[in-house]
Structure 1
Amino acid sequence: MFPVYSDTIQFKGTHYEFGYMQGETLKESPILPNRAKQWTSRRTRHFATDQEKALTLLSKYIPGVIEEIHGLADALQWSIDDAIREFGGYYLEYGKSGCSILTGTDYLIRNYDSHPGSYEGRFTLYQPTDGGYAVIGPSMQITGRIDGMNEKGLAMGYNFINRIHSGDGFICNMIGRMILETCSNVEDAINLLKEIPHRTSFSYVLLDPKGDSYVVEASPRSVIARKSNTSTNHFEMLLEENRYRMDDSKRRQQIMEKQQKLGVYEAFSLLNNKDEQVFSEKYDASSGTLHTSAYIPKEKKVWFAMGPNRNPVIFDFEKFLGGEKNNIKKIKGELNFNVPFLNMNLL
């Protein structure tokens, strides 16, 4: 087993201050150099970003992120063009991933499945003082969120469907950030997902303290919401957007559908225990489980584990919102694959 870890980042302040703090931290981190090496070695790069269009849309939907990007640019001494291209979350390439999500009336449990070499290893708690809801959850491309919960108890996770026939629009992790920072409940999130432009096809799973869970199937061409408590890597309604091979996605979904009315501990174990066959170790195929997260809206608590068969680290988000400093510096775990995360000095 290979040891991995995620750094815990907590901050209260303006978006610009948050961006500047992150930029200062990134100067001492291997994340950005490691990502640059990956793009060079894989002969891949960002898609060109229409900066003016990106700024217009960010200003409309989540203006605080523009200030955060300015803070990042100033701390890193980058041009704003480079910072928007890197952190703006608009019209960028996104690698394929797996993922399984199970919800109950009181929880959203999520396995995030991807390649370890693309994982940032940053778990954030951020409370803005210049507008927007406080959010807890792991980051992607610094400004985006992989999954998470906000101060209103709205929880969100997403599942990759397809990147063929992509369009101009935001990628999943920036959409996740928009949902969590600007929406107070499931209805707000569904309306946002129907309005914004989508780069690629993803399912967005939503739960708030009322206990009703929705899966929103979103592609560059159509967005539709349905009630459900399971989601993997295929659409149930926008069938024309699915990939050809969906056997493993349907297999994981069937396992979760057979386990109804579980408590949060049993549901977490179902996704995190290797013997239950939802947790994946297909890391070579960018479909291995990197973290298992549980969001409990009514309690404002988050469970988080890296690797299989782990006892979760538990965050009390309510205490953070009340001013209590979180003492967890790193979340440690082990994976059956010897490739480090981007935040580790081993590439």
Structure 2
Amino acid sequence: MEPFIVDVHKWTDTNYEIGRKQLQSITDKSSYLVFLNSLTSSEVDWEEGTSLLENFAPHLIEEIKGLGDQLNLSYQEAFRYFSGYDLPKLGALGCSSIVTTEMLIRNYDFSPDVYDYKFAVKNSENAYSTCGYTVHCTGLHEGVNEHGLAIALHFVNNHNQQKGFMSTMITRMVLDTCKNLEEAVDLLKALPHAACYNYSLGDTNGNIAIIEGSPERVVIRRGQQAVTCTNHFLEMNEYNRKIETSTHKRKSVLEESLHSQDDLFDIFTTPGKGLFYQDYKDFFGTLHTFSYDFNLRRVKTKVAQGDETLEFSLDRLTNDEPLPLSKLKGYIEEREGAKE
């Protein structure tokens, strides 16, 4: 077993300063840049990408500038590393979720080798306040904003990947700029998608949906009481991977698991119940569980096999109260998994 520790942050500042603060703890900048360089391409069209950000989320340009200045990078270099635009293909990942009119709950499954180890509240004047697990500082795996709009991403395929934003940056832009499901749907239709992902969403008005996003088109699948989501499309099935055993298996488990937030949280976080995976070496291990209760306005999250759970009211996104924990501690235990 290996310790697995995630830092918990709350940043209230300008987007530029939030960018700088995210990297203040980096002591070995050279090694960090080598890591970022391994995940990105030097051929990124930063001018086109910047134009898109200016149109959809201009505040993120300031955050990228802050990140770059903290590492002594030019804006072009910082854009390459932190914009989530026109990135090379990454390995396949898992992710399972349930969205009902009462809650969203999901597991994020991938490798700890490509992970920020940060859960953050970001509160700035030029975007809605959000919380979630960060990706390359600017992106989000999932999260909820001050209006109670919640979203999670789910990898489907990247074989036909094209120039556009990665799902993690799309998730961030949705939470930063949208109040409800309808606004999120409009944005998801307008943004250029680099690869095929599902997005599970819900809002405080009881609206829930799964968005199937690809570089060519976007399909909306609305739900009335509950929707479940894993790593395959139901409508655009021509984009699915050929081997999908695990994603269908997890979807069956989800459809039999419609309980309260606390009961579901136990199912998602406990090995052996069909949703917690431990095949970390093959990029298919559960790293964290995130949930949001729309009625109670309660965030509840936990890292892999952690002893402590971070719980707080949505009001903490915008008020001066600190979050209850400064770290989430768990551990990674490799076992034989059931990857796709």
Which of 226, 229, 232 is the aligned partner of 1:231?
Answer: 229
* Contact kept? 2:37, 2:81, Cα under 8 Å: no
Aligned pair 1:106/2:108, yes or no?
no
Shift of 1:39: 5.9
* Residue type at the aligned position of 2:263: E
Q: For the residues of structure 1 that align with 2:188 and 2:109, how far apart are their CA atoms?
A: 23
Which of 111, 116, 119 is the aligned partner of 1:115?
Answer: 111
Number of the residue aligned with 2:177: 182
Cα pair distance change 1:38/1:190, threshold 3 Å: closer
* Contact kept? 1:279, 1:308, Cα under 8 Å: no
* Residue type at the aligned position of 1:218: G
Which of 154, 157, 162 is the aligned partner of 2:157?
Answer: 162
Shift of 1:227: 2.1
Which of 150, 163, 173 is the aligned partner of 2:145?
Answer: 150
Aligned pair 1:275/2:272, yes or no?
yes
Q: For the residues of structure 1 that align with 2:40 and 2:84, how far apart are their CA atoms?
A: 14
Which of 318, 330, 342 is the aligned partner of 2:315?
Answer: 318
Cα pair distance change 1:230/1:183, threshold 3 Å: same
Secondary structure at the aligned position of 1:274 is classed as: coil
Which of 255, 270, 275 is the aligned partner of 2:253?
Answer: 255
Shift of 1:335: 1.5
Using the size of structure 2 for normalisation, the TM-score is 0.92
Q: For the residues of structure 2 that align with 1:298 and 1:58, how far apart are their CA atoms?
A: 33
Q: For the residues of structure 1 that align with 2:135 and 2:211, how far apart are their CA atoms?
A: 20
Secondary structure at the aligned position of 2:216 is classed as: coil
Secondary structure at the aligned position of 2:24 is classed as: helix
Number of the residue aligned with 1:343: none
* Contact kept? 2:306, 2:330, Cα under 8 Å: no
Shift of 1:199: 0.4
Q: For the residues of structure 2 that align with 1:311 and 1:75, how far apart are their CA atoms?
A: 32
Aligned pair 1:214/2:209, yes or no?
yes
Cα pair distance change 1:91/1:140, threshold 3 Å: same
Q: For the residues of structure 1 that align with 2:42 and 2:68, how far apart are their CA atoms?
A: 19
* Residue type at the aligned position of 2:215: P
Gaps of 5+ in 1: 339-347
Deviations, residues 197-218 of structure 1 (Å, cap 9, x unaligned): 0000000010111223200000
Number of the residue aligned with 1:66: 61
Q: For the residues of structure 2 that align with 1:39 and 1:96, how far apart are their CA atoms?
A: 20
Shift of 1:317: 3.0
Gaps of 5+ in 2: 336-340
Number of the residue aligned with 1:91: 86
Deviates more, 1:7-16 or 1:245-254: 7-16
Number of the residue aligned with 2:240: 242
- Percent identical residues: 32
* Contact kept? 1:153, 1:298, Cα under 8 Å: no
* Residue type at the aligned position of 2:19: G
Cα pair distance change 1:83/1:25, threshold 3 Å: same
Using the size of structure 1 for normalisation, the TM-score is 0.90
Number of the residue aligned with 2:122: 126
Deviates more, 1:217-226 or 1:305-314: 305-314
Cα pair distance change 1:76/1:7, threshold 3 Å: same
Secondary structure at the aligned position of 1:159 is classed as: strand
Shift of 1:38: 8.2
Number of the residue aligned with 1:344: none
Number of the residue aligned with 2:45: 50
* Residue type at the aligned position of 1:2: E
Count of residue correspondences? 331
Deviations, residues 221-247 of structure 1 (Å, cap 9, x unaligned): 110010241000000000111000111
Shift of 1:95: 3.0
Number of the residue aligned with 1:345: none
Shift of 1:309: 7.2
Number of the residue aligned with 1:25: 25
Q: For the residues of structure 1 that align with 2:317 and 2:94, how far apart are their CA atoms?
A: 31
Aligned pair 1:200/2:195, yes or no?
yes
Shift of 1:35: 6.8
Shift of 1:45: 4.3
Cα pair distance change 1:88/1:116, threshold 3 Å: same
* Contact kept? 1:301, 1:318, Cα under 8 Å: no
